[in-house]
Amino acid sequence: MNGLVIDRIPVRMRHWYSMALPFEVAFVIWSVIHSMFFSENGPLYDVLDWNEDWSTALMYSVISILPLGFFLYCILWMLSLYNPLSSCCCSLSKPDRLRYLNDDNTVQKDRDLEEASIAWPITK
């Protein structure tokens, strides 16, 4: 809720393969290690019992990582693009456009935007 609505933290697709995918793969690796060395406690989940039926565990792991994990991340990405306050008249989150100022607070021309610093809000 906080990241998608209040703070509007952007979610990018590159976050899936650089952040979410390694955690998903690490969980599968941990479930294999847990089954091999801590088998007296039982598997983490019944479908991830690598000692009894490794082919079923592999199938569920691959399905949950690649298509299902990617699909759920796409839903999260689409939710991060949705802004319910963008058409609301009471939205005070940001101005329509940012203005770029010189160091002496004079508005820059379009050709000088590369070296500009962003200042918001601007008082006139």
Q: Read off the pLDDT of residues 1-17 as tens digits, 9 standing for 90 and up.
A: 566 666 677 788 888 88
At 95, the pLDDT band (50, 70, 90 cuts) reads very low
Separation between Cα atoms, residue 5 and residue 95, nearest integer Å: 17
Amino acid 63: pLDDT: 93
Identify the residue with better confidence: 106 or 118.
106
Total-model pTM: 0.59
At 85, the pLDDT band (50, 70, 90 cuts) reads low
Average pLDDT over residues 32-43: 88
Q: What is the mean pLDDT of the chain?
A: 75
Amino acid 83: pLDDT: 66
